[in-house]
Amino acid sequence: MLQLYDLFLKTGLRPFAFMSDTLHLEQNVTRSDMSTLLILLFRGDLTMSELAAEMGAPLSSMTSIAKRLERKGYIARATSAQDQRVKLVTLTQEGRLLGKQWESIMLGMLGRLETAFSTEEMEQFTTLLFKAARVFQEGGPLKPHETMTRPIKIKIEE
């Protein structure tokens, strides 16, 4: 359990730093940049607000990030025809390319996880992870007792 604190404390400062050596291709581009490109790749063109929401970042931060990415030539911003206020963000050819590069890296990571985990473990892992995330985010007062979903028990190979 102490390990859990440990992971938390490290991850708190430098998100996923523990895997960052592996992700050394992050050269020259921020983590935010990477996230943005990947989101655009997955979700298609989005407005600034939508992007910000997907990223979980404030809109003002999103502006900075977008400006940077535009300067580097990875995205383009065009004002929408229907509503002059909204800007539609699109991947350029280069941006799409870079995004795909990262996608494949992430697939590689995932693949590594999948080779290390059995299928059951994998499912367990994701299920539990999201359950945990849900528990944390839908905060509320710390209740001592709550109904819970039926536990699934499998044996884990170390």
Partner DNA sequence: AATAATTACTACGATATCGTACTAAAGGGG
Partner DNA sequence: CCCCTTTAGTACGATATCGTAGTAATTATT
* Block residue for tokens 């994998």: 122
Which residues sit at the interface with DNA, rule CB under 7 A? 13-14, 30-32, 47-50, 57-68, 77, 80, 82-88
Query: If contact means CB under 5 to 8 A according to the sort of partner, which of its own copies, DNA, none does residue 71 touch?
Result: none
CA distance 41 to 135: 29
Query: If contact means CB under 5 to 8 A according to the sort of partner, which of DNA, its own copies, none does residue 59 touch?
Result: DNA
Query: If contact means CB under 5 to 8 A according to the sort of partner, which of its own copies, DNA, none does residue 126 touch?
Result: its own copies
CA distance 133 to 127: 10
CA distance 78 to 47: 9
Residue count, binding to its own copies (CB under 8 A): 81
Query: If contact means CB under 5 to 8 A according to the sort of partner, which of its own copies, DNA, none does residue 85 touch?
Result: DNA
- Site residues for its own copies, 22-61, by CB under 8 A, read 22, 31-32, 34-35, 38-39, 42, 54-57
Q: How far is the CB of 156 from DNA (least distance, A)?
A: 33
* Block residue for tokens 């921020």: 30
Do the Cβ atoms of 35 and 57 come closer than 8 Å? no
Comparing CB distances to DNA, the nearer of 24 and 150 is 24
Residues 6 or more apart from 46 whose CB is under 8 A from it? Answer: 39, 40, 54, 88, 89
Q: Identify which of 10, 16, 12 has the alpha carbon closest to the alpha carbon of residue 35.
A: 16
CA distance 29 to 25: 9
Segment contacting its own copies by CB under 8 A, of 72-80, 89-97, 123-131: 123-131
Segment contacting its own copies by CB under 8 A, of 66-74, 75-83, 87-95, 102-110: 102-110
Residues 6 or more apart from 96 whose CB is under 8 A from it? Answer: 41
Query: If contact means CB under 5 to 8 A according to the sort of partner, which of DNA, its own copies, none does residue 78 touch?
Result: none
